Amino acid sequence: MSRRLLIQSAIALVTSLALAACGDKAPPPAAKKADAPKAPEVQVVKIGVASPLTGAQAHIGIDIRNGVQLAIEDANKAGVNIDGKAVKLEMVAEDDEANPTKATTVAQKLVDAKVAAVVGHFNSGASIPASKIYADAGIPQISPSSTNPDYTLKGYKTTFRVVAHDGQQGPTLARFALDKLKAKTIAVIDDSTAYGQGLADNFEATIKAGGGKIVAREHTTDKDTDFKAILTKIKGRNPDLIMFGGIDPQAGPMKKQMAELGIKAQFIGGDGMQTPNFIKLAGESAEGALASIPGLPKETMPGGKEFLAKYKAKFNAEVELFAPMGYDAVMVFIEAMKRAGSAEPAKFLPEVGKTNYNGVIGPIAFDEKGDLKNGPITIYVVKGGKWEALETVSPGAAPAAGAKAEAPKDAATK
């Protein structure tokens, strides 16, 4: 009897050991530095980066990781001294697949790897659940790209972002529509995602507060390709401007179908549709479409030209979108560590909040929530089959909160 039991427990032990061994072998690939740590006195500080490296948004996730990698290599080349000691930075890159559940697992993985700070995640839907895990571990997190206002409203001291959020971008777009485009009647469409709806809601609230008239509020999904029904309805209301909160796979065909239906209104959207793919999908009808992007135009960023050249030389690819933000996020961390004289998250975390840094994307400073103060926003227009920068605006005080409170009243009177 006991022999069988013995065998069984032995098997259990062996399998668990084998499992453990497998796992032990697996994790290291993230840290892929070839040169072994030769000088033992050099302290290694790990910076985590989490973004989708596979899947539909991989190109943007890889862009962020590349930005972080570039920053770390630059810093190491220049030499980092913290509290008089030389420090070597190391990147730990993880793939969150743009999935909320995976994001928390990845966050835990980074915490396990004892990173000092995290750049990420790309999607708001991933940044928000992950922020809890970083906050519990006391590790500062800078998202290069999550624009959902909720992300910094959790009361965590560890969450920051280096991008204007929807509460800044939406109202900026709206003021542009009212002041510059002189739009009186406006139709709003969103794609029922956190990003699209957040942007559209903020836009709508500011338009209403600014005296504009919302003639239709329609919704589609991020998988749909047929917008004829809602566009026809909108055509019946005859707006001056149609605003779409969503991304290019929908925005492109939507613009095309507007042309097919003979809708003359102007078309404006957020950063999700300011891509070359939008122009490809919309074809000739793309001309004149407007879109905003948080940040300065890449070419006119203070360190922009140099950064673009460096990026191109290193990765043989064009910057997609958020690589400069990823780059600056790392620099913000390094500056904070230098000021605090420590790479301990607990010690340098307060310094991150006091950042006053001139980065590739412009001056970076955080407000008390961890949002970028006065992040500039640039409006682009499609001209001759290319996106061209039209003008750059500073959002100023975001009226979103006040405007939002008024929204229900408006809806009731409508």
Partner 1 sequence: MTTLTQANAARWLKIVALCVILVALPFVIDATLGRTWVRIIDIALLFVMLALGLNIVVGFAGLLDLGYIAFFAVGAYCYALLGSSQFGIHWPFLVVLPLCALVAAVFGVILGAPTLKLRGDYLAIVTLGFGEIIRIFFNNLSRPVNITNGPQGISLIDPLQIAGFSLSKTYTIGGLTFAPVHLYYFVFLACVLLTIFISLRLENSRIGRAWVAIREDELAASAMGINTRNVKLLAFAMGATFGGVAGGLFASFQGFISPESFTLLDSIMVLAMVVLGAILLTALPEALRYLGPLQQQWLGRVVVDPSGLRMLMFGLALVLIMLLRPAGLWPSRTRQRELTVDKADG
Partner 2 sequence: MDIFLQQIVNGLLLGSIYALVALGYTMVYGILDLLNFAHGDLVMIGAMVALSVVIALGSSLPVAIVLLIATAAAIVVCVALGLAIERVAYRPLRRAPRLAPLITGIGVSILLQYSAALVWGRQYISMPEIIKPEKIVFGGAQITSTQAFIFVLACAIMAALLWFVKSSRMGRAMRATEQNPDVAGLMGVDTTRVIAFTFALGASLGAVAGVMVVLYYGQGHYFMGAMLGLKAFTAAVLGGIGSIPGAMLGGLLLGLIESLAAGYIGDITGGLFGSNYRDVFAFFVLVGVLMLRPAGLMGVPSGDRA
CA distance 146 to 125: 8
**Chosen from partner 2, partner 1, none, partner binding at 229 (C-beta under 5 to 8 Å by type):** partner 2
Q: Which amino acid is at 148?
A: N
Q: Taking CB under 8 A as the rule, does residue 232 contact partner 2? A: yes
Whole-number Cα distances in Å, 19 to 26, 52, 105, 141, 189: 11, 27, 19, 32, 50
Task: Give strand pairing partners of 185.
Answer: 213
Residue 122 Cβ vs partner 2, minimum distance, rounded to whole Å: 15
Q: Taking CB under 8 A as the rule, does residue 49 contact partner 1? A: no
- The 239-278 site mask, x for binding partner 1 (CB under 8 A), equals ----------------------------------------
b/e sequence 276-300, b meaning 16+ C-beta within 10 Å: eebbebbeebbeebbbbbbbbbbee
- Tell me if 326 sits within 8 A of 144, measured CB to CB: yes
Neighbours of 272 (CB within 10 A): 25
Q: Taking CB under 8 A as the rule, does residue 356 contact partner 2? A: no
**Neighbouring residues of 370: CB distance < 8 A, sequence distance ≥ 6:** 152, 157, 159, 160, 161, 353
- The 129-158 site mask, x for binding partner 1 (CB under 8 A), equals x--x---x-----------x-x---xx---
Q: Which is nearer to partner 2, 108 or 192 (CB)?
A: 192
Whose tokens are 């003359």? That residue is: 264
For binding to partner 1 (CB under 8 A), which residues are involved?
A: 1-2, 4-5, 8-9, 12, 16, 19-20, 22-24, 26-27, 29-30, 32, 53-55, 58, 93, 95, 97, 100-101, 104-105, 108-109, 111-113, 125, 128-129, 132, 136, 148, 150, 154-155, 192-194, 196-198, 219, 411
Site of interaction with partner 2 (CB under 8 A):
55-56, 58-59, 192, 217-221, 223, 225-226, 228-230, 232-233, 235-236, 248-249, 252-253, 256, 260-262, 277, 280-281, 283-284, 411, 414
